[in-house]
Each structure stands twice: as C-alpha cells, then as structure tokens.
Amino acid sequence: MNVYDSQRMVDLLAPLGYAPVDEAAAADLVILNTCHIREKATEKLFSELGRLQETQQARAAQGSEMLIAVAGCVAQAEGPEIQRRAPFVSMVFGPQTYHQLPEMIAKIARGAGQVLNTDFPTENKFDSLPAATVARNASAFLSVQEGCDKFCTFCVVPYTRGAEYSRPVAAVLAEAERLIAAGAVELTLLGQNVNAYHGQDADGAVWSLARLCVALAELPGLQRLRYTTSHPLEMTDDLIAAHRDLPVLMPFLHLPVQSGSDKILTAMNRRHTADAYRRVIDKLRAARPEIGLSSDFIVGFPGETEADFAATLQLVKDVGYAQAYSFKYSRRPGTPAAAMPGQLTEDVKDARLAELQTLLLAQQQAFNQRSVGQTLPILFDRVSKYPGQLIGRSPYMQAVHAEVPADQFGRILPIKITSVGNISLGGVAV
Ligand code: 5AD
Ligand code: SF4
C-alpha cells in the first residue's frame, strides 16, 4: 500500500511541476514513505534521514534547496519525535493526510518552518486525490479498502492507518477502467483488511469483495485479478466461490494465520482458531484445487511456549505453503501485547524463526519444483539485469526469468518452466 500511496503522491505533485528523479542528490523534495509495522522498519527511517541530511547540506553548499518530508505510519505514530531528532525535516504527515501535500508545500514556501500533519481529517483523502491515470506497469495496484478495526494485540495498523474504510464501488470501477485503459492487464486490489470490503454503490447497496471481483472480472482487457491482504474471519463463502467461478482471479492467496496455537491466537485477538483456518483452506482448495497459498507468521509472541511453537510448525506442515513471510515478534509501543507478561528473549525468537523459515523454504522449493516441465502463462513486467531477458510472474506469484523479446514487455506469454533457483524460476518461451 505504501507503493500505491507513493504513486498517488507523484500524481498529486505533477501539476506543481514535480517529476520523479533517480537520485536524492538531484531532488528538490525527498519524501520518505515509511512503515511502522515492526521496529526494524522504523529504525531504517532514522539511518536514511542521516544520509539525506548530508545530501541536503551538499546541495545547500551548491546553492540548491532540498526539502525533506517523512510520510506514512512512522510519521503518524512518531511525528513529534521525528521533528525533535531531525529538525532538518520540514514536513511530517500520516497516511490519511497526504492529499494535503500541495498545501503543506505552500506553507513551507511561505516560511512556516516545520509542518506536522497527523490528524485523521473528516474529508476523505480519496475524494481529494487526482485520478490515477498513469499505469506505470502492466500490473497495477488499486487501493479499495484501508485501515483496520480488528485490533490484533501486536499490531499498530488500527492506530496508524485508522478505522476501516471502503472506497465506493463507482470510484473503484472508474479507477480500474483508467488503469486498464493506460495498459494494466493485472490489478491487485489493496487493503489492510481487503476482504472486509463493504463499499456502497450508487443506490446505497453494500457490495462485498466477492461482488466487486465479479464486476471487475467483466471489464474488457483485464486478464488477471488479485487482492491482498485478507483476514481468515472474512473468507466468506461468496468470496471462496469467486475463486471457483472467476478465471481472472489468480489461483494464489495470501491469507495470514500468524500462529498455529489457539492459546496464542486468542492472546493475539485473532478471533479464529487454527482449525477454523484449516477449514477455510480446505474450502479454498475444494473451490480451486491448484491454488497456491501464502501466509504471515509471528514467532515469539509473549507467552509462546515450545508446544505453541510446535503447533505453528504442525499447521505449516498441514497446509503446505507456496511461499510465506515470517517475523520475530516485535514490541510496538502502545499495542496491548507490548505490555503482556512472558516476553521472550531474542535468542529464543531467533531459534524459532530459523526453524520455521527452514520448513517454509523447503515447502516453497517443493512448490516451485512441481512447476518444472509445466507451461505457465507469465506476465512479463520487469527488465532483468541479464540482456535479452525479462522477468515476470506466474499465476502463483512465482518470479520467472526467460529470454523474451523486449517488445513483449507487459504481455502474458506461455513459458515452459525449465529450472528452479532459490527465489525464482527459469523458463523458455513456447
Ligand atoms: N511483530 C512482528 N510482526 C508483526 N506483524 C504485524 N505486527 C507485528 C509485530 N508487532 C506482521 C504480521 C502481519 C504482517 C504484515 O506483519 O504477521 O500479518
Ligand atoms: Fe493488524 Fe491485520 Fe490484525 Fe488489522 S487484521 S490489526 S492490520 S494484523
């Protein structure tokens, strides 16, 4: 979603004469769009700011100005701290106020000093953004839902992104049509809780994500549809049926479970059991047998015992993932879990993470190995560092390298998979 938001900032700044440059040293304005989900993400901000201050001083020595702004969830959560530690930053604003960027820049130009903008404004950000017209890629993101009301006890999202909000159906369909007209053949619908989507249509009727997918599937030119990230509680039967009925809906789903222990799931306030999650997976596989699955896992949540961790490993073995993300529990200020007893040491977390990742990597490699010899439709949307090659994605989100003429960029081609590397596949055009 930060990638999507950053692109919208580019759209917003274009009428003011700003255009993207490749290097900070050439920039009149640098915006760091930040993530607050784990401590590591936050630390990156301050080291990056240190480097940018040097660039800012070097430019000043040559008589050019460089404004530095911090956007996103770290800005939202730690705005005053950023201003204190980095007084050379002129604008600090959260994910719900970036549509006010032109006004903030005008304020700075009038000599306002530092601007801090971390309210949750009553007007809707999406209503004030210019239409997203330029698809920069054959595969485009489209935010349909934002924020979260789930309050998992480890997570900052409900505090930084705010309450759950669904964009109206008409706005989503119009943006999808514009993206397709500009060259997108794949859309990924975004939301922190995307399957909780409940946008209204012009008559005030509330649409589910499944209904939205059905409508999007009918748009001429759309060849692939994905959505991320989902919560197991809202994997409703209509959405599962969409995986059976809509060929454009890709056979891959990222469905975070976090833990395989019911005790830990309760402490996390996930509001589902490990078995309830297994049943959702069973239904998805009944609907779309070839579906590839992905998940997020947290190891070392407060109070996690060896037995709880073993339950997570068991769940992984039962499901069999195509890929997954796994993290050490990271104490986030202000979240309930940060104050829970039974915080684990880094050593325990490191050991559990290593064990889980070994298992997940083996599953990913086994999944990729099964693709060898198959011919898969690959959407080529990245250039490779190897001349003559392009990089694309399989329906299952695997990265695939192949020798493909450069003019096929942005197209979907049948590729026979011939090799498996660590993180990607190799293939030949057929
Ligand atoms: N510690 C570790 N991982 C976290 N995540 C969210 N909050 C934390 C935290 N405090 C992970 C979850 C979520 C993903 C986006 O980030 O697994 O699904
Ligand atoms: Fe965070 Fe996802 Fe839980 Fe919402 S559902 S609180 S975004 S982990």
The whole-angstrom separation of Cα 94 and Cα 73 is 6
Whether the per-residue pLDDT at 111 is higher than 90: the answer is no
- Peptide linkage before 229 cis (omega within 30 of 0): yes
Residue 214 CB burial class (10 angstroms; 0-12, 13-18, ≥19): middle
The predicted model scores a pTM of 0.95
Q: For 233-277, how does the pLDDT look when each residue is reduced to its tens digit (9 = 90+)?
A: 999 999 999 999 999 999 999 999 999 999 999 999 999 999 999
Chain-centre distance for alpha carbon 7: 14
Average pLDDT of the residues in 72-84: 95
Pick from 25-39, 107-121, 359-373: least confident: 107-121
What φ, ψ does residue 339 adopt, rounded to 5°?
Answer: -100, 5
Residue 280: predicted pLDDT: 98
Q: How far is the CA of 381 from the centre of ligand 1 (A)?
A: 29
Q: How large a percentage of the chain has pLDDT more than 70?
A: 99
Pick from 39-53, 215-229, 280-294: least confident: 39-53
- Which ligand approaches the C-alpha of residue 40 most closely? 1
Closest Cα to atom 13, ligand 1: which residue?
A: 296
Residue 171: predicted pLDDT: 95
Q: Is residue 268 within 8 Å of 337, Cβ to Cβ?
A: yes
Q: For 403-417, how does the pLDDT look when each residue is reduced to its tens digit (9 = 90+)?
A: 999 999 999 999 999
Task: Please tell me if the CB atom of residue 99 comes closer than 6 angstroms to any atom of ligand 2.
Answer: no
* Residue 365 falls in which region: left (phi positive, over 0), alpha (psi -120 to 50) or beta: alpha
Please indicate whether residue 393 or residue 132 has the higher confidence score (pLDDT): 393
Please indicate whether residue 71 or residue 423 has the higher confidence score (pLDDT): 71
Confidence of residue 14 (pLDDT cuts 50, 70, 90): very high
Q: For 288-309, how does the pLDDT look when each residue is reduced to its tens digit (9 = 90+)?
A: 999 999 999 999 999 999 999 9
Q: Are strands 412-420 and 375-383 parallel, antiparallel or unpaired?
A: antiparallel
Residue 136: predicted pLDDT: 67
Q: How far is the CA of 228 from the centre of ligand 2 (A)?
A: 12
Please indicate whether residue 123 or residue 348 has the higher confidence score (pLDDT): 348
Closest Cα to atom 3, ligand 2: which residue?
A: 152
Confidence of residue 221 (pLDDT cuts 50, 70, 90): very high
Q: For 335-378, how does the pLDDT look when each residue is reduced to its tens digit (9 = 90+)?
A: 999 999 999 999 999 999 999 999 999 999 999 999 999 999 99
Mutation pick for ligand 2 pocket among 152, 228, 257 (CB with most ligand atoms within 8 Å): 152
Q: Give the chain's length.
A: 430
The whole-angstrom separation of Cα 41 and Cα 32 is 12
Confidence of residue 135 (pLDDT cuts 50, 70, 90): low
Q: How far is the CA of 157 from the centre of ligand 1 (A)?
A: 9
Confidence of residue 131 (pLDDT cuts 50, 70, 90): confident
Atom of ligand 2 nearest to the CA of 268: 3
Q: How far is the CA of 229 from the centre of ligand 2 (A)?
A: 9
Q: What is the mean pLDDT of the chain?
A: 95
10 to 30, 121, 247, 375: CA distances (angstroms): 11, 21, 33, 38
Atom of ligand 2 nearest to the CA of 156: 1
Whether the per-residue pLDDT at 123 is higher than 80: the answer is no
Residue 196: predicted pLDDT: 97
Termini Cα distance of the chain: 35
Q: Which residue has the tokens 């990913």?
A: 364
Atom of ligand 1 nearest to the CA of 330: 1
2-13 helix and 101-109 helix, angle to the nearest 10 degrees: 60
Q: Is residue 73 within 8 Å of 113, Cβ to Cβ?
A: no
Pick from 4-18, 128-142, 144-158, 277-291: least confident: 128-142
Q: For 164-212, how does the pLDDT look when each residue is reduced to its tens digit (9 = 90+)?
A: 999 999 999 999 999 999 999 999 999 999 999 999 999 999 999 999 9
* Cross-sheet strand order for the sheet of 139-143: 139-143, 186-190, 224-228
12-40 as b/e: b if 16+ CB within 10 A: bbeeeebeeeeebbebebbbbbbbbbbee
Angle at the Cα of 313 from the Cα atoms of 309 and 318, rounded to 5 degrees = 140
Mutation pick for ligand 1 pocket among 151, 154, 259 (CB with most ligand atoms within 8 Å): 154
Task: Please tell me if the CB atom of residue 38 comes closer than 6 angstroms to any atom of ligand 1.
Answer: yes
For residue 377, what is the enclosing H or E element? Answer: strand 375-383
SS3 367: helix
Whether the per-residue pLDDT at 62 is higher than 80: the answer is yes
